[in-house]
Chain A
């Protein structure tokens, strides 16, 4: 009696299994689609934000400071990285590019302040420094 009942239960279980698997597959697919949608929206939002910051790469904040343009500032900064950011060598590296020590000090203070207040300056500096 118990054996036949168990066989019937097994038959019912096997009959229900394909439907349950289909349902699980559908749930998985919709979860994946939702995750992809959310990720695409996040990427789009980030790209829009980055483009907005980069598009503002003109104006008085991009004017040279004591004759040191942002491109020259990035170039000397890259040279400084080659000497492991040894700040004592910065004036000599600047002099090698035709920038006096006092102009260099003014450029460091001025450009750093602009980078902090205007993210577009930071983005442009990063692009010039890394060449990307």
Chain B
């Protein structure tokens, strides 16, 4: 008697679990996260792969930081707005999603200045140099 009641309870729990899940939404969220990650990697790679004549060490001021959109390899994917600062040139706004190591999260604050690598020929390429001294 108790056995069949327990089986029935398990069946109900299974139904409840599938009712509260939306695999479509889960996949949409994952696709959006992958798009952010892809954009971040394209911009970072373009900056890091720039030939020496094209690569520039600059700084970027953090204008705003949004909530992380995902996590990958223990790094948060964080959408940010930056102002790229180069000597002799006006600041240049740039919006992008950056991958932030857990140990560097505290450096990503509005008003903070971060060392970056950029490309002269590709204005959207940017890699934050987390290893550079503050």
Indicate, yes or no, whether A interacts with B: yes
Q: Which residue of chain B is the closest to A22 with respect to CB atoms?
A: B13
> B67 near A18 (CB under 8 angstroms)?
no
Judge if B2 is at the interface, Cβ distance under 8 Å: yes
Q: How far is the CA of A21 from the CA of B6 in the complex (A)?
A: 12
Judge if B85 is at the interface, Cβ distance under 8 Å: yes
> B10 near A87 (CB under 8 angstroms)?
no
Q: How far is the CA of A125 from the CA of B2 in the complex (A)?
A: 71
Q: When each residue 59-80 of chain B gets 1 if its CB lies under 8 Å from chain A and 0 otherwise, what string results? A: 1010111110000000000000
> B123 near A84 (CB under 8 angstroms)?
yes
> B7 near A49 (CB under 8 angstroms)?
no
Q: When each residue 1-29 of chain B gets 1 if its CB lies under 8 Å from chain A and 0 otherwise, what string results? A: 01100110110010000000000000000
Taking residues whose C-beta sits less than 8 angstroms from the other chain, chain B's interface range is 20 to 34
Task: Find the residue from A53, A73, A87, A126 having the highest chain B CB count within 10 A.
Answer: A126
Shortest CB–CB separation between residue B54 and chain A, in angstroms?
A: 13
Residues of B within 8 A of A (CB): 2-3, 6-7, 9-10, 13, 59, 61, 63-67, 81, 83, 85, 87-93, 109-111, 113, 123
Residues of A within 8 A of B (CB): 11, 14-15, 17-18, 21-22, 39, 42-43, 46, 49-50, 53, 73, 76-77, 80-81, 84-85, 87, 90, 108, 111-112, 115-116, 119, 122-123, 125-126, 129-130
